[in-house]
Amino acid sequence: MNADEQTAVLIFAQRMQAKLDKNMHKGGRPDWLGDHPGALMMRLEDELEELQMVHEAGPVRLSAKEYAEAVANECADVANFAMMIADGYLERAKAL
């Protein structure tokens, strides 16, 4: 991985963390580890639909920067739910 790729990954990870921090009142890691993977998959699908809607709407009422931020934020939501699913499976596998 080159420096530009590392920077992009770190910036995106910071966005993911910011989104998680904003929603800590919902329970955080103990909560998502307690959720059924199917429920998290449904939430992932919901977030993917939200990303698709933002993408399809385009920057109609937003500046290019605001649109890019909206897309990036929805991408972070999708990534966070994918991470929660992966984390849950990996934690359950430790018990095997």
pLDDT of residue 61: 83
Question: So what's the pLDDT on residue 58?
Answer: 85
Q: Which amino acid is at 93?
A: A
User: In the chain, what are the domain boundaries?
Assistant: 3-94
Q: CA dist 17 to 11, 22, 45, 95, Å?
A: 10, 9, 20, 27
Per-residue pLDDT of the chain (96 residues; tens, 9 = 90+): 999 999 999 999 999 999 999 999 999 999 999 999 999 999 999 999 999 999 998 888 889 999 999 999 999 999 999 999 999 999 999 988
